[in-house]
Amino acid sequence: PLMMVAHCAGLTSTIRLGTAVCVLPLYQPQRLLSEIGFADIVANGRLELGVGLGYQQFEFERFGVDIDEAPAVFSEYLDIILKGLNQNVFEHDGQYEKIPPTAISVRTVQQPTPPIWIAGGAARMARAYREGHNFFVTAFHDGLETLATLRESVERAAASKEKNVTDVKISLLRCCYASHDELEINSYLDNARFQRRLSEALHQRRQQSHDGYLLQETPTQQDLSFETMRKNLPIGSVNRVIDRLLEEIDILKPDQIAVQTQLGDFDQKTMLRQIELWGDKIIPAVNKALCHAGS
């Protein structure tokens, strides 16, 4: 992800650039600190650093990391990252890393650190409130009930650290797609379900296919029908997407929504058309409705 940030930094000048996410247990933390510093320098202070602990057994095995230890490794590596960003010279004596006094010469432009976003469950939400980080949440392909449950988890995490819910920012990762073309919508839903099946296969440690490379797409108990997915998600006509987003924002009250429109084999032309639709119609309408609601 940081390589993509560095690439985009040279093509842009104002948009902020984020990672969603760097899987901390798969990195060497001292090296990652240098790469974070470099990415923020070439972006002239526009880096948003998203970190997570990972979930794919397939991936962890190939990096030689025990996935069962991922939460503990993540926690320790985040400690190291924070030390390295906040201190000119730092050291660390932990369960997984022992680092003598060390200076990272490639320092971030943003001081003391770029904004940090944490992905994950309740324990990491609580850490975000304790240390002032932001965090990502997702409801996958579920609907309003799951978003309400997420909001309750956010409120509990804030209360556990005696913080206000608004003390940190929340970003919701959401599958969204606007179109009046039924075939295009069904193609999007098929791609979204396909991606979810592969994610579950990697998470639940299923075997690879016979060629040892591509994973097998296997229907699972988590599968939802296209009808249910359309009911649950901001998918459909422009007006339907706008209305649904406003419902979801009212329940979860996120600061940002990470809109996931690029899935599967959609071509660039289709995606550019989708981006223009969001920029021209959906985002302005949502912002206008929220401004009216706020006033």
The domain ranges of the chain are 2-294
- For 116, the token pair is 């940090």
Confidence of residue 200 (pLDDT cuts 50, 70, 90): confident
CB atoms within 10 A of CB 237: 12
pLDDT per residue over 111-155, tens digit each? Answer: 999 999 999 888 999 999 999 999 999 999 999 999 999 999 999
Does pLDDT of 217 surpass 80? no
- For 39, the token pair is 């990415």
CATH 3.20.20.30 fits domain 2-294: yes
What pLDDT does residue 140 have? 93
What pLDDT does residue 212 have? 64
Say if pTM beats, i.e. exceeds, 0.75: yes
Taking the C-alpha atoms of residue 255 and residue 186, their distance in angstroms, rounded to an integer, is 29
Confidence of residue 105 (pLDDT cuts 50, 70, 90): very high
More confident residue, 222 or 26: 26
Does pLDDT of 213 surpass 90? no
What pLDDT does residue 156 have? 97
Q: Judging by beta carbons within 10 Å of its beta carbon (0-12, 13-18, 19+), is residue 103 exposed, middle or buried?
A: exposed
